[in-house]
Amino acid sequence: MKVAFIDLQGTLGGDPLGHVGDFEFYPFSIEAIKLLNQNGILAIVLTNQSRISKGELTMKEYNQKIMHIKDDLKEQGAYFDEVYCCPHSREDKCECKKPLKGMAKTAARDFNINLEESYVIGDMGMTDMLLAKEIGAKGVLVLTGVGVGSLNEFRHTWKDIEPAHVADNVLEAVKWIIDDSK
């Protein structure tokens, strides 16, 4: 089964380092999710939300925002197959905070996914592209959010990794994935 693991903030919309409560989709993001849905590619969000463990966001507030995001998608005829969240900070020493494999491994179990046939779409090289390498997936870096900075001043944080593709945004990334996965 084909899957696109998608980062939330900075990739699908919102401020990449901001509060998830302020998240709004970029104008092209819902079309990207629809294309995944229509082409039989799972659309699974993997999001780090360390504000939860830091006490700046409750799990209830996070879940309410995710329900609102899913409702926005449903109104447009699109859906996420699942949303996985790491609520931890680095100090928690969890196994799920990207670039660690925990959320992707859970999704692989839940959906019977071969991780080596998956894609990771994100704007942050040091988390999203490192995760792609960790699970043997193809990484697609988007230039929204902190993507330009990831390619430039923060390239040293993931210097040994080359993305499979660099896209202007998530819609271009999804079109590339659909062509690549044929």
94 annotated as ligand-binding:
yes
Cβ 114 vs Cβ 136: under 8 Å: no
Q: What are phi and psi of 142, to 5 degrees?
A: -100, 150
SS3 26: coil
- Cβ within 8 Å of residue 51, ≥6 positions away: 19, 20, 57
Distance CA 144, CA 102 (A): 25
Question: What is the token pair recorded at 70?
Answer: 């899913």
15 annotated as ligand-binding:
no
On the 0-12 / 13-18 / 19+ scale of CB atoms within 10 A, 37 is: middle
123 annotated as ligand-binding:
yes
85 annotated as ligand-binding:
no
The strand pair at 42-48 and 82-86 is best described as parallel
160 annotated as ligand-binding:
no
Question: What is the token pair recorded at 28?
Answer: 């092209």
SS3 105: helix
156 annotated as ligand-binding:
no
Count CB neighbours of 163 within 10 A: 24
Annotated binding site for Zn(2+): 86, 88, 94, 96
Annotated binding site: 7, 86, 88, 94, 96, 123
Annotated binding site for Mg(2+): 7, 123
